Chains A and B, each alone.
Chain A
Amino acid sequence: MSNYIAEHIDEIRADFPILGEQVYGKPLVYLDNAATTQKPRCVVEKIAANYYKENANVHRGVHFLSQVATEAHEDARETVRRFINAKERHEIIFTRGTTEAINLVASSFGRAKVQPGDEILVTEMEHHSNIVPWQLIPGAVVKPIPFAEDGTLLVEQLEQLITPKTKLVACAQVSNTLGTINPVADIIKIAHSHGIPVLVDGAQSVPHTKVDVQALDADFFAFSGHKIYGPTGIGALYGKEEWLEQLPPYQGGGDMIDRVAFAGTTYAALPFKFEAGTPDFIGSTALAEALRYVEKLGVENIAAYEHELLTYATEQLKTVDGLRIFGESAQKSSVVSFLVGNIHPYDLGTILDKLGVAVRTGHHCAQPVMDHFGIEGTVRASFALYNTKAEIDQLVTAVKRVARMFK
């Protein structure tokens, strides 16, 4: 591959100390990146540096350290804005991750805009975190947009699924289980032609593709830091200003108020209205560090490199007797879900682990996808910018070895 990432893969791998670890005496082959990614040294060092040099509560202190920490936290917000090309910095709300971001919208939008019997459209391939929060809205009916056997979303059905009761469409840009890249721009266009807002779950897309929320015209966009080489417990919600202004606060507490009185409380301006309590200012700045790391390598370079890995993995896995891949959409990101013959994914994953290969097994928090195929679970290998073809070879060799054991 003539690609920036391929040419610098040794240096890049050296940025991730954990990749040098061994498990059960074998070099770690980490292929569970859709669950969480490993962290480059600069991110870990940023966390330490924050605690050692810049730790003070943000937004309230007049003292020096508090001002430094506040500035770093707000700079991080600007980095997130730039990374997904939001229009305004105050359209970025820091959350604990994608799940909290979706729950925030479901809770605030639900209270303000959803009456019993109203409908929320999601896709059949959503992660549970983009299904259940909508089901928690009292009286809301959550309906799926189905997908075809190869994992491609049947977008053409969206038009007929929309009714006068449809209040919002929520859709993953990339499926965590099938790897399908959904045509969210088209979905947004269709929904907007009916005056319906769209929330995009970007947990699996942000690490692998260039995201421009303005070009997409997304109303809400959520992602997690830990899936893009950042720390756990920090993520972001983008919301169009006009929507965020209309919605009531999610949680109450410090930092989100303008004036509190028993006669009535007024709320702070955006983004603070949606950020009750002390924010994770250590996490936000470390997330910004991760985003800068990705920007430095180039999102397009990463996407091209990972596409090569996906193509190679798909070809090689297909040489395994009896292997079935779930999700073979033409538009696909770096996830391969598979089963081999009748081998249970728990058995396959357990032995792969002992061979040093870390993969995910089970339903991947997407039980409707499993129901669609009439299976209990799959084995999922998912790639990141530091994976190599040699690691894919190790995966394939290991899968073949396990297949022989269960014959």
Chain B
Amino acid sequence: MTMNRNFLYFAIMAVLLVIVGQFQSWNLSLSILNLCLISAIMALGVNIQWGYAGLFNVGIMGFAALGGLAAVLISMPPVPAAWAAGGGGVLLSALAGAATIIGCIVAYAKLPKGRARSAIIVAIGVIGFFIMRGIFVPATDAIESVDAAKTGYLGGLGLPVILAWPIGGLLAGGVAWVIGKITLGLRSDYLAIATLGISEIIVAIMKNEDWMTRGVKNVNGLPRPVPFEIDLQQAEWFQNLSASLGQDVVIFSSIFVKLCYAGLFLAVLLAIFWLSERALKSPWGRMMRAIRDNEVSANAMGKDVTWRHLQVFVLGSMVVGIAGAMLTTLDGQLTPASYQPLRFTFLIWVMVIVGGSGNNMGAVLGGFVVWFFWVEAEPIGIWLMDTLTSGMAEDSGLRAHLLDSAAHMRLMTMGVILLLVLRFSPRGLLPEKTGHH
């Protein structure tokens, strides 16, 4: 039964993509598919946190952005002039910062409790901060002035971009560990608020630290894991291939590149999906669900609830980080200003809840369905508004306002969908399978 239902939903999804391919264009259909795959991975990550453990993460945007940052730091060629100008200073200030934090922790652990200890900790913190900034500011200024129009940042390591995917996961997992360590074990709302905060801050850092990410100047031209269209168009084997398929070389090259991406993304999705399913069906997964369904009794059975929550929070964030790195790879550029909570946090939540929280297949389906309608809602919405207002005069102010505002209808629609599913079908399209294994 569930097998059939899974198959039915994914078949409908495939038909929808084919319809877009036939009636709009195959290029569009494939780019929707690629983003569907990435969305599905993000939704899997969130499902690990929410579906397995009931953790509410409102900072998915931040973890996805960290993945994007990793893509730049790993794959872009280093800028030697910038390293010469300020690389040492940045490293030194990082060391100073680390030393300050360690100093504070040592003082906290070693000194006797009291006013004197607090004063010493504050003194170490303030002095360390000023030393760090004293080294940091001139160094970054020097870096940012190196050919500011083209580089003005340190660049990356010049390694293959695929490496950035796991590294992005590690980066996101590291930040998740710090946040989880502080807020897990307290009320569930605190995790939500803290993740909301950290994601805003991560994006603020990426927008403002030009020496690292070029800020709002964006990093363009990331290396690709797949061939460039222009190279394909000139390669003889490719010209022969497209000729034998009866396709236009230019259009087919872009479809071919998108297919390559789709293959890579599908491989990652399948790997993560397989691992998640294995984990869910293992004793570990049963324990996680036991904790989710009744924390008190799981605790009484000797399970360390806080530690398990931390574990699952870090794992889920890593998956989101991997997907974030993949997204930046697909875009070929890092645009910090494009990280919007609506697109990167709440949309993913809608995917998980619509798809069926607790069920990995549901999360994947949610990723596909919601992303598809997210993209196609805009033309539909504009068409709808246009039809609804066609009775009004051409120059009517109300009509112009309604047409302009059609874009905001997406926000409202997403909210309404979330509320309706949560209320009337809280188990989603593909409900979690419970019972005996």
A binds B: no
